[in-house]
Structure formats: structure tokens, C-alpha cells
């Protein structure tokens, strides 16, 4: 293989949602029937073109394979599923007569159709991106069923670009897959590796034919301890895979990447010895690996610019890492990002409203590409050539360190003075007795998770208020009417513990970010979370404090309308951190405690206002769990600690609830117990109540609300099915512990199904109450 060398700088991937979410708009209007497939193709081709041009403008080479071809219509894992013949059997009928997968089938696999459920969605490593889980069984027939990768290479070629297609590698693809329903018990998708590899060989040949000189195969599974395959087995799979792919006669040069954490030593050794031309490793999260045999013939892409945070960061340190990497004896060293840049927004220049000083500390995707271009120049011309750039980055870092708001003495004095007692609420039995006496709730109390439908009316009113078309007084009046309607509805339905419905919140994290000091919010800082969906994480840049009460007026108003208890509703510190871009200049635990103290004050104010039940949502507790097992205890320590700090100031008689969105109860039971909330609601309906057995087996002794129906679809649960779940629960768990609630908040639902579903929930509860 005589490969054209990779140039001195590259990125592992670029955001694909578009600077103004063009992809979202195009894809969603195509789904709605308003944009033809041809027009969608044209729009996305423009988007890809704009990306290549932009990357060239920012300093990557047009024809040297440094520009990644990393576009996806929906998801990079689904792209492979559709390409290697692995569309599940229920979608086979949607293929073209020659077996190839048209875009319509691709989207249907992502979104489902009628009774054909879409592919399951789950988190991509420890990011907020979600991929579609491939379903692989012994019956899966691998074959090249899409030429999209090759077509995009050719499209670039036609415009004078030589780009580097980015494809999820075969080991990661199978390691992330789950077994099909048809597979026998114990079947492992990775057992199909040898059958899959010939299709990758064919794919590589097609990419070469289309004009690719390099291909990037992403193998993040090799860093992870979260996939269900142990590191030694993964390394063995990688050895086999890359012996075959590297040995293929007709292929582009291969760059294997392993971002998101440090490669296992086994995988590092195997890849160094594999017959591929280049390896990319994450030097942001990982230490410098050892010199191992095989490197002398390889190009090493040092992931030194963070693909996941939005900080300009320490360019000098990045340079030093590249220098150290040179010491491993590789044929050449290239400056790279730690991961794809798909996890950060496009461009700081799109944020005119952000404080200028803050802006000077930031790097979104385009600024990161600029940093790569600087480091590449350094590698090519020597350090002197970039000395000014390094100095400017260092100066920005120093400016950030000393800027007002980054360190606030009053905040630090408070966190510095914390003692163990601040993290503890005291005896649960005593609390339970005080709460029973205060609340007089029936057995199996019914409630909801917090939000009620965010209707078009609510969204429009919010937008009009933001534009100044509604005065704040008018908007507040609108929200009050909305709250009053939600309270009346809940009383009519006969629910026991009410909520105000959260109409004032655009987003459960951004709402708090907007009302706390230390945060900034962006206008265009969108990051793809899955498919056409994007979120706009806030930027937590300074010490966090609460200038004024945030939720109290709404809760107080809602409570004034009813004799039933209304839950105060807060987002917990871990979730606020997980769904924001957080500062990188201090341990997360320290930042979490600052947020926790702000919430603690809010809880105190809610109590003063007469709120007897307060829910602190932590749906991201599981999400942030580190990939490396060795890092998990420390994480659980600070994350659980911050929740406890937020809630431990509550009175004995105040009932603290928490909500977690998932049902992997068994995985996090110790953490859930350690949160020490009085009541915890979790997902249970999608797993058809299996979680009830886990709860029972765990001996969990506080209040627990296993969600009795799935809010992710408009389907209305019948009284019978809710009854069945409740009967199962009362058999397995002491009745006094059980709460009855949906799986999650109702904000994405419509009112028709919400009313009908909650009516059935209450009817089932009333029936089961008579039996216990």
C-alpha cells in the first residue's frame, strides 16, 4: 500500500445538523411530505458542500484527505446498518428490488411505522448523542446494500475535493449491536464478525473506486468498558478485523480512531501491530500510551483538541502532547481532535449576544478547526511559526482564570465550609412518619412527573414574549391561566399530588441556567442529540449562585388554587451539569456542589411558601457514569453527594422526590438508595414491569413509583394493563412504598391522550386500592 501521507492536521468529524439546523428543517419537512426526496438530496448536498468549503477556508486541505466526509442523514450507526445489509427483518420489504436500502427505508428504520417499532435508541458512549442500536442475529445476511458513503466521496471529488469518508468500524458496530429477537439465548452479535468483514472489504473497494485515498474507521468501543464485551475480547476482535481489512488488496489507506477515552493496552498493542496506516488516539482523556512494536510504520493522530467541550483550552499543552507523542517512534505525528466535533456547536461567531470576554475563551467546532490548523503549521514549520498563537491561547486562559465571576469568594466560602452534616437528612423512618402526618395521602398515591403538554399555544406565547410582542405581564398572565387549567384538570382526574405543569420552562436545564449566575445561554449553539433533534446546552463558565428565587412564585400560585399538595419541581445538580457545557478548570464535583447550594436555597424558599413536596429530577445520573470502571466510584461519590447537598436542608416533614428516566434500576440501585430521596419515580412500562422484580430484590425501602405507562408514544394504556402492573407491584413491594405515576413528563404529549391515559391510571389505582 503506497499511501499519500496524511497532512499534519485533521479533525475526526464535523457537526452535520447545519449552522442554522438546516438538516433538521429539511429532514422534518421531508417527513411531513412538504419536501420531495430529490429536494432533500439537493438540500443535504448543499449542506455537505458548504461544510467542505468551510473546512477548507478554516485551513484543512482540499485534496489531502484531511477533511472528513462525516455527514449523516440521521445517525452514523444507522448508516452502517443500512450499508451492510443489517436492516432488521421487519423492514426488509422496504428495500428496492435489487436489495438496496432507499432513503425512505432508512428513515422508517429510524422512526418506525405502524406496528414495526423503530430501532432502539441509546446513548453513544458517555455523550448526549444517541445512536440507533443495530439488531444482529444468526439470520442477518450481510451484503453491501447502500452506496451512500461512496456517493458522497464522489460528490466531493466532483467539486475538486479529496475527502476522507468516516465509517463506524466493524468491531464497534457489532459491539454496540443487540441480538435480534430471533437469536438464541446467549447469542453475541460480535460472533458474526467474520461474516461482516467481507462486506467492509467490498465497501473499502467502493470508496477507493469513488476516489477516496483515506478512510476513517471509528472504533470507540475499544476504549469503553461500558459495552458488554471485555477489553481482551474486544482487542482480539480488532486484531482479526484489521488483519482482514488491512490485508485487502483494493482499499484506501486506513485510519482507525479510538476516541472518548483511553484505549485499553491490549487494543493499543493490537492496532499498533495491525496492517493499517494510521491510528488516532484520545489524548484529552487518556494518558500517553506506551511505545509498542509496529508504530514505526504508522501515522499517529494525536487527539489533543477536545471534541466535546467548548473551551479554547490550553494550546500550549496540546502542543506539548504532540511533542511527547513524537517520542513513541511513529513514522509521523498529526494534530487531531479527540473525537468528532459533532458534539459541539458550529461557530462562536454565531453568538453575537454573548459577552465578548467569554467569547474569547471559547472554541466551537470552527474555532477548533482553526486550532488544528495552527498545530498543523507548527508540526510542519516548527514551534516558532506558531509561537504567537500559543501565547494568545495562554493569555486567554490566564484572562479566564482571573476574570470576575469565574471565582466568586462568597460561593467558595460556602462550599469550603461544608461539613458531613450538610449532606445528610437524618433518619428516614422519622421523616416518613412526619410526612404521613403532614400529607394524609391515600395508599398508592397518584401523581405525574411534572410537565403537562407543551402545546403550540405555549410555545407561541413564549416566542412572542421573547420577541417583545407580549409584555412580561401578559406572558405571566398567560402562564397563570395555563397553570390554573392544569390544576383544575388534575383535580377533575382525581390525582392526589398535583404539579403546576412547567409551562414556563423551555427546557428543564436551560430554564435554570437562565436564572442562575455563572451560566450563559447561546442563540445558535445547537448540538445534535439524535436524528433531527438538537439541544442547545448552556455554558457553565463561572461560580454558580442564585440571584433570586426561580420557581417559587409559580409553585406558590399553583398551590393557592388547590387544597391538594402541589409538588415543587427542580432539576438536580447532576442533570444541570450533564446537559450543559461545563467548565474544565475545576473538578465537576466542585461545580456540582455550587449548583446544589443554589437548589438548596430554592428548596428552603419553596418550603417557606408552603410547598410540602419537592421533586428534584436527576434523569442524567446514569448518563454521566464514566466509561472506565475505575472512575465510577469517584463519580458516584460526587454526583450522589451533590444531590444530597441540594436536598438535605429540607425539613423532616418535607417530602423529597426524585425522578430518573430509565429502568436500569439494578445497575444504579446503590446510587438511588444513596440519594436518600423519600420517593423515587422511574421508568418501568417499556420493560413491562421487570424493574419491579429488581426493586423487590434490592430491598429498597423508600417510596418508589415504577412508571405505569410509557409517555414516549401517544398510545393510551388501558385500565387493565395499568391494573396488571400495579397488582404485580403490590405483590412484590410493600404497598406503603408504592406510588402510581407515568414513566416521565408529559410535555411531548397532546392533551387528548394525556387526559385519557391519566383517567385510566386513576381508575386502575382506585380498583387496586380496594384489593390491598
Positions marked catalytic: 712
Nearer to ligand GLN, 15 or 501 (CB): 501
CB-CB contact of 246 with 271 (8 Å): no
Window 103 to 122, contacts with Zn ion (CB under 5 A): none
Contact region with ligand GLN (CB under 6 A), list: 22-30, 189-197, 446-454, 697-705: 446-454
CB-CB contact of 629 with 560 (8 Å): no
Binding-site partner at residue 595 among ligand GLN, Zn ion, none, CB < 5 to 8 Å by type: none
Binding-site partner at residue 282 among Zn ion, ligand GLN, none, CB < 5 to 8 Å by type: none
Q: CA geometry: angle at 212 spanning 140 and 321, to 5°?
A: 95
Contact region with ligand GLN (CB under 6 A), list: 31-39, 57-65, 438-446, 739-747: 739-747
CB-CB contact of 138 with 184 (8 Å): yes
CB-CB contact of 313 with 585 (8 Å): no
Nearer to ligand GLN, 260 or 452 (CB): 452
Nearer to Zn ion, 6 or 684 (CB): 684
Angle between helices 37-57 and 148-158 (to 10 degrees): 60
Binding residues for Zn(2+): 659, 661, 683, 744
Q: Is 267 in the site for ligand GLN (CB under 6 A)?
A: no
**Helix, strand, coil share (%) of the chain residues, nearest 5:** 45, 15, 40
**Closest CB 745 distance from ligand GLN, rounded Å:** 2
Supply φ then ψ for residue 239, to 5 degrees: -60, -45
Q: Is 373 in the site for ligand GLN (CB under 6 A)?
A: no
**Closest CB 571 distance from ligand GLN, rounded Å:** 8
Residue 145: left if φ>0, alpha if ψ -120 to 50, beta else—which one?
Answer: alpha
The correct pick among 23, 362, 390, 661 for binding ligand GLN (CB under 6 A) is: 661
Site string for ligand GLN, 451-470 (x = CB under 6 A): x-------------------
| Binding residues with ligand GLN: total (CB under 6 A) | 13
Q: Is 661 in the site for Zn ion (CB under 5 A)?
A: yes
Q: CA geometry: angle at 523 spanning 519 and 529, to 5°?
A: 85
Q: 254 vs 169, 209, 229, CA distance in Å? A: 11, 15, 24
Q: Say whether 615 sits in a helix, a strand or coil.
A: strand
Nearer to ligand GLN, 360 or 535 (CB): 535
**Closest CB 135 distance from Zn ion, rounded Å:** 25
Q: 424 vs 619, 642, 674, CA distance in Å? A: 21, 11, 10
Window 576 to 635, contacts with ligand GLN (CB under 6 A): 617, 619
Contacts (Cβ under 8 Å, ≥6 apart) of 683: 660, 661, 662, 663, 691, 707, 743, 744
Contacts (Cβ under 8 Å, ≥6 apart) of 553: none
Q: Are strands 130-132 and 121-123 parallel, antiparallel or unpaired?
A: antiparallel
Binding residues: 21-24, 123, 128, 449-451, 502, 579, 617, 623, 659, 661, 683, 744
Q: Are strands 253-258 and 135-136 parallel, antiparallel or unpaired?
A: unpaired
Alpha-carbon gap, residue 148 to 752, rounded angstroms:
41
Nearer to ligand GLN, 169 or 745 (CB): 745
Site string for ligand GLN, 78-117 (x = CB under 6 A): ----------------------------------------
Window 469 to 508, contacts with ligand GLN (CB under 6 A): 502, 508
Q: Are strands 299-305 and 332-337 parallel, antiparallel or unpaired?
A: parallel
**Closest CB 122 distance from ligand GLN, rounded Å:** 16
Contact region with Zn ion (CB under 5 A), list: 285-293, 407-415, 484-492, 742-750: 742-750
Supply φ then ψ for residue 451, to 5 degrees: -85, 145
Binding-site partner at residue 7 among ligand GLN, Zn ion, none, CB < 5 to 8 Å by type: none
Burial class (CB in 10 A: 0-12, 13-18, 19+), 203: buried
Contact region with ligand GLN (CB under 6 A), list: 212-220, 251-259, 403-411, 740-748: 740-748
Task: Return the C-alpha torsion angle 81, 169, 189, 629, nearest 10.
Answer: -120
Closest to 304 measured CA to CA, from 11, 626, 7: 11
Contact region with Zn ion (CB under 5 A), list: 31-39, 157-165, 611-619, 708-716: 611-619
Binding-site partner at residue 747 among ligand GLN, Zn ion, none, CB < 5 to 8 Å by type: ligand GLN
The correct pick among 744, 758, 761, 762 for binding ligand GLN (CB under 6 A) is: 744
Nearer to Zn ion, 617 or 678 (CB): 617
Nearer to ligand GLN, 64 or 743 (CB): 743
Contact region with ligand GLN (CB under 6 A), list: 54-62, 282-290, 353-361, 444-452: 444-452
Q: 410 vs 33, 417, 545, 638, CA distance in Å? A: 56, 11, 9, 21
**Closest CB 101 distance from Zn ion, rounded Å:** 33
Binding residues for L-homocysteine: 449-451, 502, 617
**Closest CB 664 distance from ligand GLN, rounded Å:** 15
Binding residues for 5-methyltetrahydropteroyltri-L-glutamate: 21-24, 123, 128, 579, 623
The correct pick among 480, 500, 657, 747 for binding ligand GLN (CB under 6 A) is: 747
**Closest CB 756 distance from Zn ion, rounded Å:** 20
CB-CB contact of 336 with 11 (8 Å): yes
| Binding residues with Zn ion: total (CB under 5 A) | 3
Identify the sign of the CA torsion 157, 163, 168, 171: positive
The correct pick among 725, 744, 762, 768 for binding Zn ion (CB under 5 A) is: 744
Helix segments in 440-497, DSSP class H: 456-466, 472-493
Binding-site partner at residue 450 among ligand GLN, Zn ion, none, CB < 5 to 8 Å by type: ligand GLN
Burial 90-127 (b: 16+ CB within 10 A, else e): bbeebbeeeebbebebbbbbbeeeeeeebbebebbbbb
Contact region with Zn ion (CB under 5 A), list: 293-301, 511-519, 617-625, 746-754: 617-625
447 DSSP 8-state letter: -
The correct pick among 333, 576, 745, 754 for binding ligand GLN (CB under 6 A) is: 745
Q: 724 vs 119, 674, 679, 764, CA distance in Å? A: 27, 30, 22, 9
Nearer to ligand GLN, 170 or 453 (CB): 453
**Closest CB 661 distance from Zn ion, rounded Å:** 3
**Closest CB 450 distance from ligand GLN, rounded Å:** 3
Window 557 to 576, contacts with ligand GLN (CB under 6 A): 569
Supply φ then ψ for residue 345, to 5 degrees: -70, 170
The correct pick among 341, 449, 497, 566 for binding ligand GLN (CB under 6 A) is: 449
Binding-site partner at residue 508 among ligand GLN, Zn ion, none, CB < 5 to 8 Å by type: ligand GLN
| Other C-beta atoms lying within 10 Å of the C-beta of residue 227 | 21
Nearer to ligand GLN, 539 or 660 (CB): 660
**Closest CB 711 distance from ligand GLN, rounded Å:** 9
Supply φ then ψ for residue 136, to 5 degrees: -125, 135
**Closest CB 593 distance from Zn ion, rounded Å:** 24
525 DSSP 8-state letter: -
Closest to 406 measured CA to CA, from 604, 567, 276, 541: 541
Nearer to ligand GLN, 148 or 659 (CB): 659
The site for ligand GLN (CB under 6 A) is made up of: 449-451, 502, 508, 569, 617, 619, 659, 661, 744-745, 747
Interface residues toward Zn ion, by CB under 5 A: 619, 661, 744
Amino acid at each position: 500500500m503506497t499511501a499519500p501521507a496524511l497532512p499534519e492536521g485533521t479533525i475526526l468529524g464535523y457537526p452535520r445538523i447545519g449552522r442554522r439546523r438546516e438538516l433538521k428543517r429539511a429532514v422534518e419537512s421531508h417527513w411531513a411530505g412538504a419536501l420531495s426526496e430529490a429536494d432533500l438530496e439537493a438540500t443535504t448536498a448543499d449542506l455537505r458542500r458548504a461544510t467542505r468549503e468551510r473546512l477548507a477556508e478554516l485551513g484543512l486541505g482540499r485534496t489531502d484527505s484531511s477533511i472528513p466526509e462525516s455527514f449523516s442523514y440521521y445517525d452514523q450507526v444507522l448508516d452502517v446498518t443500512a450499508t451492510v445489509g443489517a436492516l432488521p427483518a421487519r423492514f426488509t420489504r422496504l428495500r428496492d428490488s435489487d436489495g438496496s436500502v432507499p432513503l425512505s427505508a432508512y428513515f422508517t428504520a429510524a422512526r418506525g411505522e405502524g406496528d414495526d417499532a423503530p430501532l432502539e435508541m441509546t446513548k453513544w458512549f458517555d455523550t448526549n448523542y444517541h445512536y440507533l442500536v443495530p439488531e444482529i442475529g444468526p439470520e442477518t445476511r450481510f451484503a453491501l446494500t447502500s452506496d451512500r458513503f461512496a456517493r458522497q466521496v464522489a460528490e466531493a471529488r466532483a467539486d475538486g475535493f479529496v475527502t476522507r469518508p468516516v465509517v463506524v468500524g466493524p468491531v464497534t458496530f457489532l459491539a454496540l449491536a443487540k441480538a435480534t429477537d430471533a437469536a438464541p439465548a446467549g447469542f453475541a452479535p460480535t460472533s458474526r464478525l467474520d461474516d461482516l468483514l467481507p462486506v467492509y472489504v467490498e465497501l473499502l473497494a467502493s470508496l477507493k473506486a469513488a476516489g477516496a485515498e483515506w478512510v476513517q474507521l471509528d472504533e470507540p468501543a475499544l476504549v469503553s468498558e461500558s459495552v458488554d464485551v471485555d477489553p481482551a475480547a474486544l482487542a482480539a476482535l480488532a486484531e482479526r478485523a484489521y488483519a482482514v481489512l488491512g490485508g485487502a488488496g483494493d482499499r484506501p489507506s486506513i485510519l482507525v480512531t479510538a476516541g472518548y477515552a483511553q484505549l485499553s493496552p491490549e487494543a493499543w498493542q493490537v492496532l499498533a501491530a495491525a496492517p493499517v496506516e494510521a491510528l488516532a488516539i484520545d489524548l484529552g482523556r487518556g494518558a500517553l500510551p506506551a511505545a509498542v512494536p509496529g508504530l514505526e510504520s504508522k501515522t499517529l493522530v494525536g487527539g489533543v483538541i477536545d471534541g466535546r467541550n467548548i473551551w479554547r483550552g490550553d494550546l500550549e499543552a496540546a502542543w506539548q502532547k504532540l511533542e511527547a507523542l513524537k517520542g513513541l517512534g511513529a513514522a509521523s505525528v498529526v494534530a487531531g481532535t479527540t473525537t468528532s466535533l459533532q458534539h459541539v456547536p458550529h461557530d462562536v461567531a454565531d453568538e453575537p449576544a454573548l459577552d465578548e470576554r467569554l467569547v474569547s475563551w471559547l472554541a466551537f467546532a470552527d474555532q477548533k478547526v482553526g486550532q488544528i490548523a495552527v498545530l498543523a503549521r507548527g508540526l510542519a514549520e516548527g514551534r516558532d511559526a506558531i509561537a504567537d498563537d500559543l501565547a494568545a491561547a495562554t493569555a486567554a486562559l490566564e484572562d479566564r482564570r482571573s476574570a470576575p465571576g469565574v471565582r466568586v469568594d462568597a460561593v467558595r466560602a460556602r462550599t469550603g465550609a461544608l461539613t458531613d452534616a450538610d449532606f445528610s437528612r437524618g433518619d428516614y423512618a422519622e421523616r416518613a412518619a412526619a410526612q404521613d402526618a403532614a400529607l394524609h395521602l391515600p395508599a398508592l398515591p397518584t401523581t405525574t412527573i411534572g410537565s403537562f403538554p407543551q402545546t403550540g399555544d405555549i410555545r407561541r406565547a413564549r416566542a412572542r414574549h421573547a420577541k417583545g410582542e407580549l409584555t412580561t405581564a401578559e406572558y405571566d398572565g398567560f402562564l397563570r391561566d395555563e397553570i390554573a387549567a392544569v390544576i383544575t384538570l388534575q383535580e377533575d382526574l382525581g390525582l392526589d399530588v398535583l404539579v403546576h405543569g412547567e409551562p414556563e420552562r423551555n427546557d428543564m436545564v436551560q430554564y435554570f441556567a437562565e436564572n442562575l449566575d455563572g451560566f450563559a445561554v447561546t442563540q445558535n449553539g445547537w448540538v445534535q442529540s439524535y436524528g433531527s433533534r438538537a439541544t442547545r446546552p448552556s455554558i457553565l463558565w463561572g461560580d454558580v449562585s442564585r440571584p433570586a428565587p426561580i420557581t417559587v412564585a409559580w409553585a406558590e400560585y399553583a398551590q393557592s388554587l388547590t387544597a391538594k399538595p402541589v409538588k415543587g419541581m427542580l432539576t438536580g445538580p447532576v442533570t444541570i451539569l450533564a446537559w450543559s457545557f461545563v467548565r474544565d478548570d475545576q473538578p465537576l464535583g466542585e461545580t456540582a456542589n455550587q449548583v446544589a447550594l443554589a437548589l438548596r436555597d430554592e428548596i428552603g424558599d419553596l418550603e417557606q411558601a408552603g410547598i410540602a413536596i419537592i421533586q428534584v429530577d436527576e434523569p442524567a445520573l446514569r448518563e454521566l457514569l464514566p466509561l472506565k470502571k475505575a472512575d465510577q466510584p469517584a463519580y458516584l461519590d460526587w454526583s450522589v453527594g451533590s444531590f444530597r447537598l441540594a436536598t438535605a436542608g429540607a425539613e423532616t416533614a418535607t417530602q423529597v422526590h426524585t425522578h430518573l428516566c430509565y429502568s436500569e434500576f439494578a445497575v444504579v440501585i446503590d446510587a438511588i438508595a444513596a440519594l436518600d430521596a423519600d420517593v423515587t419515580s422511574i421508568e418501568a412500562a417499556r420493560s413491562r414491569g421487570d424493574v419491579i422484580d429488581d426493586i423487590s430484590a434490592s430491598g429498597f425501602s423508600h417510596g418508589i413509583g415504577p412508571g405505569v405507562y410509557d409517555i414516549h408514544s401517544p398510545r393510551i394504556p388501558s385500565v387493565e394493563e395499568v391494573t396488571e402492573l400495579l397488582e404485580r407491584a403490590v405483590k412484590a413491594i410493600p404497598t406503603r412504598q408504592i406510588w402510581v405515576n407515568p414513566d416521565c413528563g408529559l410535555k411531548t404529549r397532546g392533551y387528548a391522550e394525556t387526559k385519557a391515559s391519566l383517567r385510566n391510571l386513576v381508575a386502575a389505582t382506585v380498583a387496586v386500592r380496594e384489593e390491598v
